Amino acid sequence: MRIPKAASNPVSDMQRSRTRKNWLLSAPALVVLAAASSGPLLIVLVYSFLSAGEYGGVVWKFSTDAWFNVVFFRDIFDGTTTFADAHMTILWRSVRLSFITTLITLAAGFPTAYFIATRPRRNRSLWLFLITVPFWTNLLIRTFAILEVIRNEGLINIGLQTLGIIDKPIQMLYTDFAIMVGMTYVYLPLMVLPLYASMERLNFSLVEAAYDLYATRHKVLHRIIIPLVKPGIIAGSILVFIPSLGAFVTPRVLGGGKKMMLGNLIELQFGAGRNWPLGAALSVTLLALVMAALLMYVRTTQRHSGSVR
Partner 1 sequence: MVEKQGTGQANTEAPLPAAIYAERVTKAFGEGKKKVLALDDVSLTIEENEFFTLLGPSGCGKTTLLRLIAGFDQPTAGAIMLRDRDISQLPPNQRSVNTVFQDYALFPHMTVAKNISFGLEMLGKPKDYIKKTVGDMLALVKMEELRDRRTDQLSGGQQQRVALARALAPRPQVLLLDEPLSALDYKLRKEMQIELKQLQLETGITFIFVTHDQEEALTMSDRIAVMNAGRILQIGTPRQIYNQPADRFVASFIGRSNFISVEVLSVEGRRARLKLSSGREVISPLPDNWVPRGRVTAVVRPEYAQLVAGSGDEGDLQGVLENIVYLGTDTQYHIRLPDETTFVTRSQNQCQETEAFEDGQSVSVVFKPEAVQVLRS
Kindly state whether residue 119 participates in binding partner 1, applying the rule CB under 8 A.
no
Sign of CA dihedral 213, 218, 220, 223: negative
Give the nearer residue to partner 1 in terms of CB position, either 171 or 300: 300
Among 35, 206, 294, 296, binds partner 1 (CB under 8 A): 206
Scanning 140-148, 210-218, 238-246, 266-274 for contacts with partner 1 by CB under 8 A, the matching segment is 210-218
Among 43, 140, 209, 294, binds partner 1 (CB under 8 A): 209
Kindly state whether residue 13 participates in binding partner 1, applying the rule CB under 8 A.
no
Among 22, 64, 125, 203, binds partner 1 (CB under 8 A): 203
Scanning 24-32, 106-114, 181-189, 208-216 for contacts with partner 1 by CB under 8 A, the matching segment is 208-216
Kindly state whether residue 201 participates in binding partner 1, applying the rule CB under 8 A.
no
Kindly state whether residue 213 participates in binding partner 1, applying the rule CB under 8 A.
yes
Least CB distance from residue 157 to partner 1, whole Å?
Answer: 45
Kindly state whether residue 309 participates in binding partner 1, applying the rule CB under 8 A.
yes
Contact flags string 217-256 toward partner 1, x per CB under 8 A: --x---xx--xx----------------------------
Query: What does the CA dihedral 95, 98, 102, 108 come to, rounded to 10 degrees?
Result: 140
Kindly state whether residue 305 participates in binding partner 1, applying the rule CB under 8 A.
no
Least CB distance from residue 226 to partner 1, whole Å?
Answer: 10
Least CB distance from residue 279 to partner 1, whole Å?
Answer: 46
**Taking the chain, what is the end-to-end CA distance rounded to the nearest angstrom?**
35
Kindly state whether residue 216 participates in binding partner 1, applying the rule CB under 8 A.
yes
Least CB distance from residue 231 to partner 1, whole Å?
Answer: 11
Kindly state whether residue 215 participates in binding partner 1, applying the rule CB under 8 A.
yes
List all residues 6 or more positions away from 282 whose beta carbon is below 8 Å from its beta carbon. Answer: 70, 87, 262, 265, 266, 269
Give the nearer residue to partner 1 in terms of CB position, either 16 or 222: 222
Kindly state whether residue 70 participates in binding partner 1, applying the rule CB under 8 A.
no
Least CB distance from residue 15 to partner 1, whole Å?
Answer: 24
List of residues contacting partner 1 (CB under 8 A)? 203, 205-206, 208-216, 219, 223-224, 227-228, 307-309
